[in-house]
Amino acid sequence: MSQRLDVRKTYKLYIGGKFPRSESGRSYVVTDAKGQFVANASRASRKDARDAVVAARAAFPAWSGATAYNRGQVLYRVAEVMEGRAEQFAGEVAAGEGLRLSQARSVVSAAIDRWVWYAGWTDKLSQVVGSTNPVAGPYFDFSIPEPTGIVAVLAPQDSSLLGLVSVLAPALAGGNVVVAVSSHLRPLPAITLAEAFATSDVPGGVVNLLTGGAAEIGPWLADHADVNAIDLTGTVGASEGDAAADVELARDLEVRAAGTLKRVRRPSHLAIQGGSPDWAAEPGLSRMTAFLETKTVWHPIGV
């Protein structure tokens, strides 16, 4: 009896709710923590990044215009799908980050809990961040948080799932749409997360995931005039151990972003000095508020 061959998986990009190959046809080798071959992943190009921005812009009106309660339900559904694929996530995190399977399972559980935590904030942000302002006159004056628009996210290089969720979920919870570049060395959990998006209720284009290098794709996203904000977290470790090059990359992307007045989320001071953020720590609101704008509305009383 002949031995059965495994069905090999083709790792693709996630753009506009679909899984295309890179238009350039390029791919790169993904290895595990021991340097052994795991897969070939698509290497996204400038054209792929542009396509992702176009898809995100098309999805923005409906996503930002949905009720906060509805966005919370949609994001919670992603956590449900993640829970069903927890063992697959654990295997990929263990291989990529060199963890024991028990440790990887704990990381996956933390990532799912983190996703639920941010999903729960969607209908609470306006009460906490917004306000009714006292004014000296016959007016109502309200300050209301609104999403910035398209957020480009360079995902953490070291934390392939928990770190990715920690930078992705807060932008989505605030009503933004996202173009994310996954960890270069550990992209498989991001691709599996894209499959969770595709099989949940998240509309196509709200999240777009590119695999490849932050140093290659980041400049194009920072320059793009239709990208409204950029999170530079993933510049730390992007140069594979060269901390000086990481700092230079972050500075270059910030300068490029200034050309179109983007909001910029800088890497933490600890990360710039060669450390790594503690992704297991309790999250705050700063990653959500970084990509929100405040609209103030005046309305006369009695009219």
Count of domains observed in the chain: 1
76 occurs within a structural domain: yes
184 occurs within a structural domain: yes
In this prediction, residue 270 carries a pLDDT of: 54
Report which of 146, 149, 173, 167 is spatially closest to residue 70, judged by C-alpha positions.
Answer: 173
In this prediction, residue 264 carries a pLDDT of: 96
User: Rounded mean pLDDT of the chain?
Assistant: 92
**Cα–Cα distance for residue pair 34/95, rounded to 1 Å:** 8
Against a cut of 0.75, is the pTM above it? Answer: yes
CATH assignment of the domain containing 233:
3.40.605.10
pLDDT at 260 over 70: yes
Question: Which range among 21-30, 87-96, 251-260, 262-271 shows the weakest confidence by mean pLDDT?
Answer: 262-271
Confidence label for 273 from pLDDT (cuts 50, 70 and 90)? low
Q: How far is CA 277 from the centre of its chain?
A: 16
Confidence label for 137 from pLDDT (cuts 50, 70 and 90)? confident
162 occurs within a structural domain: yes
Domain that holds residue 65: 36-300
Instruction: List, in sequence order, the alpha helices (H) in the chain.
Output: 46-65, 68-84, 86-97, 101-119, 125-129, 162-173, 188-198, 214-223, 243-258, 269-272, 286-289
**Cα–Cα distance for residue pair 67/123, rounded to 1 Å:** 8
Query: 190: which 2 tokens?
Result: 């991001």
148-155 mean pLDDT: 97
pLDDT at 231 over 60: yes
- CA torsion 218-75-115-78 (nearest 10°) is -90
26 occurs within a structural domain: no
pLDDT at 54 over 90: yes
Question: Which range among 135-139, 165-169, 244-248 shows the weakest confidence by mean pLDDT?
Answer: 135-139
Query: 119: which 2 tokens?
Result: 């999903």
Confidence label for 6 from pLDDT (cuts 50, 70 and 90)? confident
**Cα–Cα distance for residue pair 297/290, rounded to 1 Å:** 21
In this prediction, residue 206 carries a pLDDT of: 98
135 occurs within a structural domain: yes
**Cα–Cα distance for residue pair 40/35, rounded to 1 Å:** 14
pLDDT at 284 over 70: yes
